[in-house]
Amino acid sequence: MLHRMFSIALLVSSSFIAIGQSSSATFDEGSKVFRLDGGDVTYAFGVNARGELQQLYWGGRLGAADRIPQAAPAREWASFDSSYTTTPQEYAGWGAGLFVEPALKVTFADGNRDLVLHYDRHETTSDGFNIVLKDIKRQVFVTLRYSMDAGSGILARSATIENKEAQPITIEQAAAAAWALSAAHYTLNYLTGRWAGEWTLTQETLHPGARVIESRRGSTGHQANPWFAIEAGDRPDENAGEVWFGALAWSGSWRITVEQDQLDGIRVTGGFNPFDFGYVLHPGEKLESPVFYGGYSAHGLGGASRILHHYEIAHLLPHRVGEGDEAAPKPRPVIYNSWEATEFNVTEEGQKALAEKAAELGVDRFVMDDGWFGQRKNDHAGLGDWYVNSTKFPHGLKPLIDKVHALGMDFGLWVEPEMVNPDSDLYRKHPEWVLNFPGRPRSEQRNQLVLNLARPDVREYILGFLDKLLTENDIAFLKWDYNRNWSEPGWDQLPPAEQKKVYVEFTRNLYAILAELKKRHPKVELESCSGGGGRVDLGILQYADEVWPSDNTDPFDRLTQQDGFTYAYTPQIMMAWVTDSPHWLNKRTTSLEYRMLSSMQGSLGIGANISKWNDVEMATAKRLIAAYHQVQRTIVQGDLYRLISPRNGSEFSATQTVNGDKSQSVVFAFIHSTQEGRGFPLLKLEGLDAKAEYALTPIEGAAARGTSATASGAWWMNHGLEMSENFKGDFQAAAFRLDRK
């Protein structure tokens, strides 16, 4: 069977053409094949002779009349690997001798742990299928949802498990979906990191065995991000080659297992992290998995990320304007944030003074960070007490907010709702509200504990204070922070056998609060921050308009982080502040122009202590913010081409974005440190209209040379953009815009 899948893939890859923006979901009664087409992608699976749901094809779009043969179980391998384990199932129960990663593992009340899921029935929906599987003997049902996006070919998959037995069952492992591939060699790409060092693109050849990417931390985590991309071949290419990618929409503990099985097939299984998992389903109850999105591109990692960015912008992010594939949120306001300038030392007068300077720069939104509430002088006290500190703000927040509005900006505020300092009124009143095991230590991190958001009373408290805050104050934006991971994750309100439900209910309640706030305060925008990029995933992005990728704002480090970030997420959500030099983390000194251009690759913000900026610095920032505003939509929502990667100590790096109708493009070029007098490489641009004429205008830095300012798209793409001889040195930056004539 694997052999047959491979030959279908070969057939299409040689005659691959873009087929356009239509989608279809068809079921062939005779062959029992389900087929989904969208964008340039076809996905197919079928019911095999045993009744299992078996994956058949995932790749470039097939001809409409092509018939995909009926699913046939894969062969067994001697007496050691049964056909049940060698067959690539869409959603395999653990039973019947399954040795690869199961999608679902349960224990029944009588101790039986065998689960074999067969096709039961299905319905066709507007964009896909709902397929019901049932255990061969028992009343356990799984509904698999498939929904194909017409434009991008991105397939959204999820599973709902339902217990119709007379007794409870315990779910020990539940995936959202399993994906299968088969070819000779693959390279796996995934994102790893740590606090202040997020978004490292890690690349490795797949070998027999399993590679586990996960978070056991209760939230998404800095250590790994729930995204993968698998490239055919062992030499990753930015713009060529087949890539299968996926992202899990879940902000709790998660796991993606990528395994090469005994017959060299690849299986990717992802969902709730099974570590310490146990979800009791009483008779009649259901458990719904997160959504696991999957996509395909024949144009390398660059093609894959362009598809994913577009999907995020057009279909996932909140506050979209427009319909269908044309929908998009507005580019983010350019913000000023007070954190690096004042840390906890915020006052009405100090913030007003910063707001005046921020307005002079042309900033759109003023955000006050940590320190405004409770008895918050440092990180030892106050979290949980969400009343305005009357020493720092004797008249409440109104005078500051009014001032910010009078200066022509809107107002944003920092909160960290899920946390509590033991030194707070809230903890003194409700010590039972934190995650803990009674009688065991409560481990603090940053002097704080995690409120057990799974508890209904905690959920109501958080919703209540946020609703009040937003009702009483004219707040346009919340920066929602989350500054530690879990420890001692007990939930002693529930019987011992049920306490592990905390892994699901905590995150569900977080989403429920965000959904309710959105309903009550539809205009309020949100940033997801977790000590930087610790909570970035497609789950939170249904509610969060933007994210804070890292507390590391060093402009040189950011180039690599931003490069890594964009493999999975659009620059639209990638907040990037310009902060002070020398930088607090690396002690590196860089020019303001370099810092501005590094941040302008994403959604620009200013986070420096601008009260100390001189006239020249103010004028430079003002000029570049104005230039950024003019081309922002192209930068953050256009097609992104990573022309030269900053990874692995590269001497140079460059990116380019092209807007939807190819009328505008923006290029960024950075020099780390010139060596041996080498000039900047000729930049062959991408994605322009070859026949159109484009005028090149420097936004900042080196001028181009060797060409007139206007040339055809063909010139810029084939001949390339040549930098001035003088574009040399350490930490140098240049930016250009190209506008169609």
Q: Which residues contact 344 (CB under 8 A, 6 or more apart)?
A: 370, 371, 376, 377, 378, 379
Site for ligand GLA contains 198 (CB under 6 A): no
Residue whose CB is less far from ligand GLA, 369 or 700: 369
The smaller minimum CB distance to ligand GLA, of residues 92 and 368, is found at: 368
SS3 713: helix
Q: How many CA atoms lie within 13 A of 457 on its CB side?
A: 8
- Nearest C-alpha neighbor of 101 from the set 158, 179, 44: 179
Q: Is 277 in the site for ligand GLA (CB under 6 A)?
A: no
Is position 339 an interface residue for ligand GLA (rule: CB under 6 A)?
Answer: yes
For ligand GLA, which residue of 331, 531, 646, 687 counts as binding (CB under 6 A)? 531
Confirm or reject binding of residue 373 to ligand GLA (CB under 6 A): no
Which class for 649: exposed (0-12), middle (13-18), buried (19 or more C-beta within 10 A)? exposed
- Interface map 448-487 toward ligand GLA (x if CB under 6 A): ---------------------------------x-x----
Answer whether 741's CB lies under 8 Å from 715's CB.
no
What is the secondary structure of 486-536 as a DSSP string?
--S---TTS-GGGGGGHHHHHHHHHHHHHHHHHHHSTT-EEEE-BTBBSS-
Give φ, ψ of 551 to 5 degrees.
-75, -15
Instruction: For the CB of residue 339, give the shortest distance to ligand GLA in the complex, in Å.
Output: 5
Under the binding rule (CB under 6 A), the answer on residue 370 touching ligand GLA is yes
The residue behind tokens 């008895």 is 375
* Catalytic entry in 551, 554, 557, 639: 551
CB-based contact 454:501 (threshold 8 Å): yes
What is the token pair recorded at 173? 């492992």
Which region among 133-141, 152-160, 469-477, 525-533 touches ligand GLA (by CB under 6 A)?
Answer: 525-533
Residue 149, interface with ligand GLA (CB under 6 A)? no
| CB 569 to ligand GLA: min, Å | 17
Contact flag: residue 603 with ligand GLA (CB under 6 A): no
x/- mask, ligand GLA, residues 37-76, rule CB under 6 A, reads ----------------------------------------
CA distances from 592 to 406, 536, 718, 732, 736 (A): 28, 28, 33, 11, 17
C-beta of 297 vs 448, nearer to ligand GLA: 448
- What is the footprint of ligand GLA within residues 392-421 (CB under 6 A)? 414
From the list 146, 548, 567, 569, which residue makes contact with ligand GLA (rule: CB under 6 A)?
A: 548
By beta-carbon distance, which residue lies closest to ligand GLA? 370
User: In whole angstroms, how close is the CB of 481 to ligand GLA at the nearest point?
Assistant: 5
Number of Cα atoms under 13 Å in the Cβ half of residue 707: 18
The arrangement of strands across the sheet holding 730-740 comes to 639-644, 652-658, 664-673, 730-740, 693-700, 710-712
Q: Is 481 a catalytic residue?
A: yes
Residue 529 touching ligand GLA (CB under 6 A): yes
Stretches 85-93, 234-242, 528-536, 704-712: which one binds ligand GLA (CB under 6 A)?
528-536
Q: How far is the CB of 190 from ligand GLA (least distance, A)?
A: 23
| Amino acid identity for residue 343 in this structure | E
- Closest distance of CB 323 from ligand GLA, Å: 35
Query: CA 6 → CA 232, 471, 515, distances in Å?
Result: 12, 58, 43
Measured from the CB atom, the residue of 45 and 414 that comes closer to ligand GLA is: 414
* Integer Cα distance of 318 and 539 in angstroms: 12
State the binding string over 629-668 for ligand GLA (x if CB under 6 A, else -).
----------------------------------------
Stretch that binds ligand GLA, among 114-122, 510-518, 527-535, 593-601 (CB under 6 A): 527-535
Q: Least distance in Å: CB of 462 to ligand GLA?
A: 18
Assess contact for 561 and 549: CB atoms under 8 A.
yes
**350 vs 679, which CB is nearer to ligand GLA?**
350
551 is catalytic: yes
Shorter beta-carbon distance to ligand GLA: residue 403 or 479: 479
- Could you tell me the two tokens for 412? 């944003």
Exposed, middle or buried by CB within 10 Å (0-12, 13-18, 19+), for 509?
Answer: buried
Q: 48 or 528: whose CB is closer to ligand GLA? A: 528
Out of 261, 481, 545, 554, pick the active-site residue. 481
Both tokens of residue 434? 């934190």
Q: How far is the CB of 540 from ligand GLA (least distance, A)?
A: 15
527 binds ligand GLA (CB under 6 A): no
Cis, bond preceding 333 (omega within 30 deg of 0): no
Shortest CB 554 distance to ligand GLA, Å: 14
Instruction: Count the site residues for ligand GLA by CB under 6 A.
Output: 11
Stretch that binds ligand GLA, among 350-358, 529-537, 610-618, 636-644 (CB under 6 A): 529-537
Q: How far is the CB of 551 from ligand GLA (least distance, A)?
A: 5
Q: What is the length of the chain?
A: 741
**What burial letters (b/e) apply to 271-308, b meaning 16+ CB within 10 Å?**
bbbbeebbbbbeeeeebbbbbbbbbbbbbbbbbbbbbb
Cα distance between residue 207 and residue 337, in whole Å: 46
Q: How far apart are CA 557 and CA 548, in angstroms?
A: 15
Sign of CA dihedral 211, 215, 221, 223: negative
Binding of ligand GLA at residue 338 (CB under 6 A)?
no
In the bound state with ligand GLA, the residue whose beta carbon lies nearer, of 325 and 527, is 527
With binding defined as CB under 6 A, does residue 374 bind ligand GLA?
A: no
The only residue of 242, 261, 369, 546 in contact with ligand GLA, by rule CB under 6 A: 369
Residue from 40, 135, 551, 700 touching ligand GLA (CB under 6 A): that is 551
Residues assigned a catalytic role: 481, 551
Applying CB under 6 A, the residues found at the interface with ligand GLA are 339, 369-370, 414, 481, 483, 529, 531-532, 548, 551
